[in-house]
């Protein structure tokens, strides 16, 4: 039997197409990104090797650091919003009738394309005819701001649709984790006189900690590489006030035709994402795992 | 004896807390309903303004029903805006990429979980690590690689990229299922002299139909909504998919709200209809594939 199941020809036939594809489309390009970053190149003509010039320039480029700062802010917002999602999930898991329907409704925005969401929210934020300012005006606020045109507001304004889009996703994950907690634990705590808050804080929270750690990584790394929605809604504007790392990379490569510098940004983005994943995993690593079965 | 005592105490406390706990539940429901309303409201508003003309959008309250629904908005954008072309491109590219991913992913998963070969864990590791690599870091090299082999502005560039980037998540969802699949049938088949190919295609592959459906739906949603690859690789209208097509179309018709609404509705309707019928499977797939960033 082992002989049949270790037939090398068949293994190659089953594995190689996918393996070659992923090497060609994922792994070779990230090596090339690092290499392109060492060159001056407009994407079409000849490459000129310039050593670490692009990478050194990156460290002095205030536009880049601003975009990195904006990405970091989005990551912090996303991290904080996880608390909101967790609270809603806890409410949902509190033996609510119709919980299944609620979590499905919450999930709908997550299934739609970021482009459609971005276009819809462009209309919501429309300075004169958008639903947000119409409502604000009817409530008596004269001259509500043009949300996406003000440097000081634009990142917050962009974060609302992100919050809206991903709510159902994280609530779904937390809800599933909370539902995994045996009901006997909660009942035992109730009998001992614990109130709902104590149960949530002292019993449920520690038991879903592993899932929370995973979602922190997802939210932070996801924010660091956020692109579609911002690209469509503001294209990094006004005046770079909402430029993030991925959009800056795109602009440098495909608008300014500086493929070498764009690649350096792309490589830096890769390193940051991997490093942040590693650091968060380290920081939140716990020595003792909790058993609750 | 002990349990009896406990039960009495529990009943007593519940009777005492009757009114306040009812109030508490009311409050919990209120929270959930508010969140549901926030999640749905933008989409309802979108549906309404897709059926209005500009005058009605600007002069009537935002949530007023479209009294004489203007279906001509939909007719207009469907043919005049190239939306029909984009729509069919989205359909066939999504279906093709999904079918290839699911079949290739199944072959790899089978080889990794059932067949015995050196390096199987290394190969699996390569697929899993690929999940952490940001798409953006591969964008510039992919563009220049595709350019070299004449695949830019060719739908094959999209299919290759979609298959490669969705392969890891597909394998990850399939893995759990394959590990849990009983091996007795396969062992008996091998003893009867069944070849590996026949065993995979006639026995194992059909047995995985339910998890295949889940992975296929998740793949379809990702592919349908993909934006940055289409935006970067494809330049002619004939090959654009809905995300980029919608973006371009709206760029030209920024002032016609009804047309924009109708375009957005057309782009999200397939997802909404799928969700209506297959919500359980989608919820399951999103939860299973939640590590994808």
CB-based contact, B278 to chain A, within 8 Å: no
The two structure tokens encoding residue A108:
């709908």
Rounded to 5 degrees, what are φ and ψ at A40?
-100, 130
Average pLDDT value for residue range A288-293: 48
Q: How many residues does this entry show for chain A? A: 293
3-state secondary structure of A290: coil
Q: Which long-range contacts (CB under 8 A, 24 or more apart) does B272-277 make?
A: B272/A108, B272/A111, B274/B217, B274/B220, B275/A104, B275/A108, B275/A111
Residues A91, B61: C-beta atoms closer than 8 Å? no
A257-266: per-residue pLDDT in tens? 999 999 999 9
Whether the upstream peptide bond of residue A221 has omega within 30° of 0, thus cis, is no
Which chain A residues have a beta carbon less than 8 Å from that of B134? 224-225, 246, 269-270, 273
Cα distance from B179 to chain A (closest Cα, Å)?
16
Question: Which residues of chain A neighbour B107 with C-beta distances below 8 Å?
Answer: 13-15, 17-18
Measured distance CA(A210)–CA(A187) in Å, rounded: 23
Pairwise CA distance, residues A158 & A139, whole Å? 23
Distance from the Cα of A288 to chain B's closest Cα (Å) equals 23
Are A130 and B264 within 8 A, CB to CB?
no
Share of chain A above pLDDT 90, in %: 59
Instruction: Nearest chain A residue to B233 by CA: give it.
Output: A254
Domains of chain B plus CATH, in order, are: 2-72 (no CATH), 73-288 (1.10.3720.10)
State how far Cα A136 lies from the chain centre: 30
CATH for A62-283?
Answer: 1.10.3720.10
How large is the average pLDDT for residues A46-73?
A: 92
**Do the Cβ atoms of A26 and B138 come within 8 Å?**
yes
Give the pLDDT mean for B266-278: 92
Q: Coil, helix or strand for A69? A: helix
Question: Considering only CA atoms, which of B242, B181, B174 is closest in space to residue B211?
Answer: B174
Q: How far off is chain B from A159, nearest CA to CA, in Å? A: 15
Task: Enumerate the residues of chain B whose CB falls inside 8 A of the CB of residue A262.
Answer: 140
B181 pLDDT above the threshold of 90: no
Question: Confidence class of residue B192 from pLDDT cuts 50, 70 and 90?
Answer: confident
DSSP-assigned letter for residue A74: H
Q: Write out pLDDT tens, residues A167-209.
A: 999 999 999 889 888 888 888 888 888 888 888 888 888 889 8
What's the pLDDT at A287?
54
B137 near A CB under 8 A: yes
Task: Name every chain B residue with its beta carbon within 8 A of the beta carbon of A167.
Answer: 35, 39
Do A181 and A211 touch, CB atoms closer than 8 A?
no
Report CB contact under 8 Å: B32, A91.
yes
Does residue B18 register a pLDDT over 70?
Answer: no
Q: What is the ipTM of this complex?
A: 0.89
Among chain B residues, CA nearest to A187: B10
Q: Which of A99, A160, A106, A161 is nearest to B37 (CA)?
A: A106
Domain map of chain A by residue range?
A: 62-283
Question: What is the arithmetic mean of pLDDT over A270-275?
Answer: 92
Chain B nearest C-alpha distance from A25 (Å): 6
The residue-averaged pLDDT of B36-50 equals 93
pLDDT for res B13: 45
How many helices, marked H, and strands, marked E, lie in chain A?
Answer: 15, 2
Contact A17, B104 (CB under 8 A): yes
- A-B contacts at Cβ under 8 angstroms: 268
More confident residue, B110 or B20: B110
Mutate to test the interface with A, among B52, B137, B227 (most CBs of A within 10 A): B137
The pair of three-digit structure tokens given for residue B285, joined into one six-digit string = 């797939």
Geometric angle at alpha carbon A93, from A87 and A96, rounded to 5°: 115
- pLDDT of A75 > 60? The answer is yes
Mapping DSSP to helix (H, G, I), strand (E, B) and coil, where does residue A49 land? strand
Question: Which of A30-44, A112-126, B1-15, B97-111 is predicted least confidently?
Answer: B1-15
d(CA B43, CA B35): 14
Chain B residues closer than 8 Å to A8 by CB: 117
- Using a CB–CB cutoff of 8 Å, tell me whether B8 touches chain A: no
Report CA torsion sign: B141, B142, B146, B149: positive
Contact (CB, 8 A) for A218 and A166: no
Tell me the C-alpha distance between A154 and B24, whole Å: 37
Selecting from B39, B126, B142 the residue whose C-beta is nearest the C-beta of A106 gives B39
Chain B residue numbers touching A195 (CB-CB < 8 A):
none
Identity of the residue in A15, A27, A113 whose CB atom sits nearest the CB atom of B111: A15
Chain A: residue whose CA lies nearest to B245: A115
Nearest to A22 among B32, B107, B127 (CB): B127
- Asked if B2 is an interface residue toward chain A (Cβ–Cβ < 8 A), one would say no
DSSP A47: -
Asked if B243 contacts B129 with a C-beta cutoff of 8 angstroms, the reply is no
Higher pLDDT, A30 or B253: A30
Tell me what the pLDDT averaged over chain B comes to: 87
Nearest to B61 by CA among A212, A138, A46: A138
Q: Percent of chain A having pLDDT more than 70? A: 97
**Shortest CA gap B89–chain A (Å):** 16
Residue among A104, A168, A174, A163 at smallest CA distance from B275? A104
CA distance to A22, A166, B103, B222, per residue, from A223 (Å): 24, 11, 31, 18
Contact A253 B246 (CB under 8 A): no
- pLDDT-derived band at B163, boundaries 50, 70, 90: very high
Instruction: List pLDDT tens digits, range B105-159.
Output: 999 999 999 888 888 999 999 999 998 899 999 999 999 999 999 999 999 999 9
What are the φ/ψ torsions at residue A194 (nearest 5 degrees)?
A: -75, 140
Is B232's Cβ below 8 Å from some Cβ in A? yes
- Cα distance between residue B269 and residue B281, in whole Å: 18
B40 CB within 8 Å of a chain A CB: yes
C-beta of residue B234 within 8 angstroms of C-beta of residue B142: no
Distance between start and end Cα atoms, chain B: 53
Collapsed DSSP state (helix, strand, coil) of residue A48: strand
Taking an 8 Å cut-off on Cβ atoms, the answer to whether A121 and B164 are in contact is no
The stretch B208-229 carries a mean pLDDT of 92
């Amino acid at each position: 039997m082992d002989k049949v199941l270790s037939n090398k020809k068949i293994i190659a036939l089953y594995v190689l197409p996918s393996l070659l594809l992923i090497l060609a489309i994922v792994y070779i390009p990230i090596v090339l990104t690092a290499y392109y970053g060492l060159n001056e190149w407009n994407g079409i003509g000849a490459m000129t090797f310039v050593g670490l010039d692009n990478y050194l320039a990156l460290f002095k480029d205030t536009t880049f650091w601003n975009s990195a700062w904006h990405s970091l802010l989005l990551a912090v917002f996303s991290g904080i919003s996880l608390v909101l999602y967790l609270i809603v999930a806890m409410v949902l898991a509190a033996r609510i009738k119709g919980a299944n329907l609620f979590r499905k409704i919450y999930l709908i925005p997550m299934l739609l394309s970021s482009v459609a969401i971005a276009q819809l929210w462009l209309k919501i934020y429309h300075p004169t005819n958008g639903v947000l300012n119409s409502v604000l005006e009817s409530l008596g606020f004269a001259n509500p701001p043009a949300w996406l045109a003000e440097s000081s507001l634009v990142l917050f304004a962009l974060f609302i649709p992100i919050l809206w889009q991903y709510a159902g996703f994280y609530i779904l994950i937390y809800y599933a984790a909370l539902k995994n907690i045996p009901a006997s634990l909660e009942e035992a705590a109730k009998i001992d006189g614990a109130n709902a808050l104590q149960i949530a804080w002292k019993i449920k929270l520690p038991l879903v900690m592993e899932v929370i750690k995973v979602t922190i990584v997802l939210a932070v790394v996801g924010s660091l590489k956020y692109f579609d929605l911002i690209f469509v809604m503001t294209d990094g504007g006004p005046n770079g006030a909402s430029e993030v790392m991925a959009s800056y990379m795109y602009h440098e490569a495909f608008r300014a035709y500086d493929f070498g510098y764009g690649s350096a940004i792309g490589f830096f983005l890769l390193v940051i994402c991997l490093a942040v994943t590693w650091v968060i995993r380290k920081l939140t690593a716990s020595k003792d795992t909790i058993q609750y079965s | 004896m002990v349990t009896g005592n406990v039960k009495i105490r529990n009943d007593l406390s519940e009777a005492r807390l009757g009114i306040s706990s009812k109030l508490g539940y009311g409050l919990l429901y209120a929270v959930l309903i508010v969140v549901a309303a926030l999640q749905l409201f933008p989409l309802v508003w979108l549906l309404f303004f897709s059926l209005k003309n500009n005058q009605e959008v600007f002069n009537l309250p935002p949530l007023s029903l479209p009294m004489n629904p203007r279906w001509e908005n939909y007719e207009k954008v469907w043919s005049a805006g190239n939306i029909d072309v984009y729509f069919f491109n989205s359909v066939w590219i999504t279906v093709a990429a999904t079918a290839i991913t699911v079949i290739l992913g199944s072959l790899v998963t089978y080889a990794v979980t059932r067949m015995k070969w050196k390096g199987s864990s290394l190969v699996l590791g390569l697929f899993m690590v690929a999940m952490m690599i940001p798409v953006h870091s591969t964008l510039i090299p992919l563009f220049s690689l595709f350019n070299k082999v004449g695949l830019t502005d060719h739908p094959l560039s999209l299919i290759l990229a979609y298959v490669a980037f969705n392969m890891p998540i597909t394998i990850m969802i399939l893995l759990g299922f394959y590990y849990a699949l009983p091996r007795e049938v396969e062992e008996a088949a091998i003893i009867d002299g069944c070849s590996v190919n026949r065993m995979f295609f006639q026995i194992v592959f059909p047995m995985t139909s339910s998890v295949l459906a889940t992975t296929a739906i998740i793949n379809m949603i990702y592919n349908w909504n993909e934006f940055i690859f289409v935006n970067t690789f494809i330049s002619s209208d004939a090959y654009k998919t809905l995300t980029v097509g919608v973006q371009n179309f709206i760029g030209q018709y920024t002032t016609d709200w009804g047309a924009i609404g109708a375009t957005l509705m057309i782009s999200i309707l397939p997802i909404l209809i799928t969700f209506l019928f297959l919500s359980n499977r989608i919820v399951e797939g999103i939860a299973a594939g939640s590590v994808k960033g």
